[in-house]
Amino acid sequence: MVMIKHMISFIVILGAFVVLPSGMANEIRSLVLVSYVGGNDVRLTTPEIRRLYLGLPTAHKPPLTAVINRTEPLLYQVFLQKALFMSAPLYERQLMANVVSQGSGYRPQMYNNQQELLSALRKQRNAVTFMWRDQLRADSGMVVVSVVWQGRVN
C-alpha cells in the first residue's frame, strides 16, 4: 500500500513537470529583423538575410550591415537555426570561409549587451539585427524589416 502511494506521488510530481512548462516554453514568440532605416522601405527575403549574415553582398541600396545580437543565447540559436539553417560552429566556419574567399567580405559585429547593441544600431542607420518582437519598443524608432520566424520556443 505504501509503495502504491509513493508511486502515485511520483506520477503526480512527474506530471506537473510535463504539464507545467517552465518560463515561456509554451509561449508563441516572433523573431524579427529590425533596423532604424525609417523611411526606407526595407524588406528582406530569407535568402537575402542569409547572404547578409554570411558576409556576402546583397542587392539592397544603400547596402545594409548585419549586426549579431548575442544578448540572449536562445535568441541567437533560434536565429541561426530558423534564418540561416545552421548550427553556431557551422555558421562560424561558413562566415570565415566567405570573408576570406570574398576578400572584401565582412564579419558582422557582435554585441552581448543590449544597450551597446541599440546604441550601435542608432549610430549606423543601415544596420539590421534580430530580436524577439516583444522586445521591440513602440517608441524606439526601430522598424521590423522582416519576420524571420514565429512559433513555440522549447
Mind listing the pLDDT tens digit for each residue in 12-56? 444 434 443 444 457 899 999 999 865 456 788 899 999 999 988
Q: Per-residue pLDDT averaged across 61-85, rounded? A: 94
Higher pLDDT, residue 123 or 18: 123
Output the pLDDT for position 116: 95
Lowest mean pLDDT among 5-9, 41-45, 114-118: 5-9
Averaged pLDDT score across all residues of the chain = 82
Output the pLDDT for position 120: 92
Output the pLDDT for position 68: 97
Higher pLDDT, residue 20 or 5: 5
Third-level CATH fold of 27-152: D-Maltodextrin-Binding Protein; domain 2 (3.40.190)
Output the pLDDT for position 41: 64
> Is the overall model pTM greater than 0.75, yes or no?
yes
Q: Per-residue pLDDT averaged across 65-74, rounded? A: 95
DSSP string, 28-89: EEEEEEEE--TTS-----HHHHHHHHTT---S-SSPPEEEEE-SSHHHHHHHIIIII---HH
Q: Quick one: CA torsion of 128, 130, 136, 140, rounded to 10 degrees?
A: -20
**DSSP-assigned letter for residue 108:** P
